[in-house]
Amino acid sequence: MSEKVRVLLSEEEVDQKISELGAKISRDYEGKSVHMICILKGGAWFMCELSKRMTVPVSCDFMSVSSYGSGTESSGVIKINKDLDEPLDGKDVLIVEDIVDSGRTLSHLCDLLKHRNPASIRICTLLDKPSRRVKAVNVDYTAFQIPDEFVVGYGLDYDQKYRTLPYIGVVEFD
């Protein structure tokens, strides 16, 4: 079986939306610093581009998490593969995700991080698939809502391929 990638969101569309988000987040956090937490691996591309477009002071940290459960259904319980390097006490935290799907892992992660005493926690995602939501999660900043299709590019992968595409594409199988 082979696959091809169809452009869903062009490089120009993605770039423009990230610039708009950077400006909005900067306005919302005016007079404050933002501590961005990137959810690896896919979120790294988005966080780098977003932080370059922000005018408020930014610090960053990284987490790698996975959800697990029996069968094909995620339990929503997360396993932390790489935890944060810095404490969150008193920080205004912005979790940066590449895509929000079911919401299970992100919901659990927010609950976990709240116990680390940040001043605030907000969520920013490049892509949101609200039709797949199983667990309610409040996404504060969304670049694009997309249909339920398998997407790649801009950090998102299929079998470790396509992460470096400068656009968002849909994988189509022959």
Cα–Cα distance measured from residue 35 to residue 88, given in angstroms and rounded to the nearest whole number: 8
Strands 77-82 and 58-68: antiparallel
Cα–Cα distance measured from residue 72 to residue 55, given in angstroms and rounded to the nearest whole number: 42
Distances (CA, A) of 65 to 1, 38, 99, 144, 164: 30, 11, 14, 23, 21
How many H-runs (helices) and E-runs (strands) does the chain carry?
3, 9
- Contact in structure between 157 and 42 (CB atoms under 8 Å): yes
Q: Which of 82, 85, 95, 81 is nearest to 37 (CA)?
A: 95
Please say if 15 is a catalytic residue: no
Q: Which two tokens stand for residue 121?
A: 């926690």
- Contact in structure between 153 and 5 (CB atoms under 8 Å): yes
Q: Which of 101, 111, 148, 174 is catalytic?
A: 101
Which residues are tagged catalytic? 101
